[in-house]
């Protein structure tokens, strides 16, 4: 098993996109600053989507342009089409992530077109990214189950992954968008996809909807995945997935990985403070559990 995992902090995008309270651009930048100070070195910073559909992302360009960039940190913009890619590129981002959903029904709800149309969009974006020196990753959404079509087969996911691999993306993520996977599902699909895509890096995006999130993260790591998406406080959820809940909480993941001897470079205690701050900004009680229970063992001098 790997001894190092790179956490991709998605709270500025997936984490807040479904929240009713709109955060100011300054607050989003502060979130990224705080997470950077805690050791996070990869972010999904925003998404370049229709602000009418996702009002929280209306300031995508401003967020991207205002980042205090570090050379050792990835700043990824989510894009769903060529127009989104152009906005991301013009905002100075050097990392974009595209999405194709594994099922026709959910892809139409999420992107408004058929899977094949989205695949064609991604091929065009791949060409544009190549020409402009931008790194492009792709997430396969609902790879472990769809709220509309139910189970998604291993074959369906590997077929999409194989087609994407021809575009030579920087990474391919499998997303458990609605949080239905068990560790066995994670191992089966990541192993099968790894066989299809050669040396392309794998990334794992989990939601803790049915309490299996951290178990699935362990399964992903045991399957060779070294890039895991998570969200400070576990905030988040897809606006187009019914009953979707948050991403796995970054600080809970870091706590677990620390005890397992898997290095992340991230300070869990600093993230507890940020989770509570983010909850206050959003006016919610984040589902993350470490920020309620506290570190173990407690710091010297702390009350039991």
Q: Could you say which DSSP state residue 24 is in?
A: P
* 9-17, 70-78, 131-139, 141-149 -> range binding a second copy (CB under 8 A): 141-149
Q: Which of 7, 38, 88, 178 binds a second copy (CB under 8 A)?
A: 178
The verdict on 301 binding a second copy (CB under 8 A) reads no
Q: State yes or no: is 238 an active-site residue.
A: yes
The verdict on 201 binding a second copy (CB under 8 A) reads no
CA distance 182 to 217: 10
Residue 228 CB, nearest approach to a second copy (Å):
13
Q: Which of 201, 210, 269, 270 binds a second copy (CB under 8 A)?
A: 210
Select from 98, 86, 40 the least CA-distant residue to 67.
Answer: 40
Whether the bond into 283 is cis, omega within 30 of 0 = no
Q: Which of 39, 92, 183, 224 binds a second copy (CB under 8 A)?
A: 183
Cross-strand bridge partners of residue 105 = none
CB neighbours of 236 closer than 8 A, spacing ≥ 6? 10, 11, 14, 15, 16, 17, 18, 207, 245, 246, 247
* 94-102, 112-120, 143-151, 189-197 -> range binding a second copy (CB under 8 A): 143-151
* 10-18, 75-83, 272-280, 290-298 -> range binding a second copy (CB under 8 A): 290-298
User: DSSP for 209-267?
Assistant: TTS-HHHHHHHHHHTT--EEEEBGGG----TTSTT--PBPBHHHHHHHHHHTT-B----
The verdict on 255 binding a second copy (CB under 8 A) reads yes
Choice between 36 and 250, CB closer to a second copy: 250
Q: Contact 154/160 with Cβ under 8 angstroms?
A: no
φ/ψ bin of 243: left (φ > 0), alpha (ψ from -120 to 50), beta (otherwise) = left
How many positions of this chain bind a second copy (CB under 8 A)?
48
CA distance 116 to 127: 17
Q: Write phi, then psi, for 72 (nearest 5 degrees).
A: -95, 15
The burial of 7, by beta-carbon neighbours within 10 Å (0-12 exposed, 13-18 middle, 19 or more buried), is given as: buried
Cross-strand bridge partners of residue 99 = 139
Choice between 47 and 245, CB closer to a second copy: 245
Choice between 199 and 297, CB closer to a second copy: 297
Binding mask 228-247 for a second copy (x = CB under 8 A): --------------xx-x--
Q: Which of 116, 151, 166, 263 binds a second copy (CB under 8 A)?
A: 151
Q: Which of 36, 208, 223, 264 binds a second copy (CB under 8 A)?
A: 208
Residue 251 CB, nearest approach to a second copy (Å):
9
Q: Which of 145, 169, 279, 286 binds a second copy (CB under 8 A)?
A: 145
Q: Where along the sequence are the contacts to a second copy (CB under 8 A)?
A: 145, 147-148, 150-151, 178-185, 208-215, 217-219, 242-243, 245, 248-249, 252, 255-261, 288-290, 292-294, 296-298, 303-304
Catalytic residue set: 238
């Amino acid at each position: 098993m790997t001894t190092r995992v790179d956490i991709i902090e998605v709270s500025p995008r997936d984490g807040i996109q479904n929240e009713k309270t709109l955060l100011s651009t300054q607050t989003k930048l502060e979130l990224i600053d705080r997470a950077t100070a805690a050791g996070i070195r990869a972010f999904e910073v925003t998404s370049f989507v229709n602000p009418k559909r996702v009002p929280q992302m209306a300031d995508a360009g401003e967020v991207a342009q205002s980042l205090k960039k570090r050379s050792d940190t990835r700043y990824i913009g989510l894009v769903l089409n060529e127009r989104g890619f152009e906005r991301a590129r013009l905002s100075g981002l050097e990392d974009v992530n595209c999405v194709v959903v594994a099922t026709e029904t959910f892809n139409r709800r999420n992107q408004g077109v058929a899977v094949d149309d989205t695949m064609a969009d991604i091929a065009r974006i791949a060409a544009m990214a190549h020409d402009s020196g931008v790194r492009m990753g792709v997430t396969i959404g609902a790879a472990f189950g769809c709220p509309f079509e139910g189970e998604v087969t291993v074959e369906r996911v590997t077929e999409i992954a194989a087609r994407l691999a021809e575009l030579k993306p920087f990474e391919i993520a499998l997303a458990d968008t609605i949080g239905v996977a068990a560790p066995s599902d994670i191992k089966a699909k990541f192993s099968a996809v790894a066989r299809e895509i050669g040396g392309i890096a794998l990334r794992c995006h989990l939601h803790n909807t049915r309490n299996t999130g951290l178990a699935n993260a362990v399964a992903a790591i045991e399957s060779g995945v070294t890039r895991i998406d998570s969200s400070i406080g576990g905030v988040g959820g897809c606006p187009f997935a019914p009953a979707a809940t948050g991403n796995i909480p970054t600080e809970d993941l870091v706590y677990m990985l620390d005890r397992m001897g898997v290095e992340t470079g991230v300070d869990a205690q600093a993230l507890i403070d940020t989770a509570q701050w983010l909850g206050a900004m959003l006016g919610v009680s984040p589902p993350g559990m470490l920020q309620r229970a506290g570190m173990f063992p407690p710091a010297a001098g702390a009350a039991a």
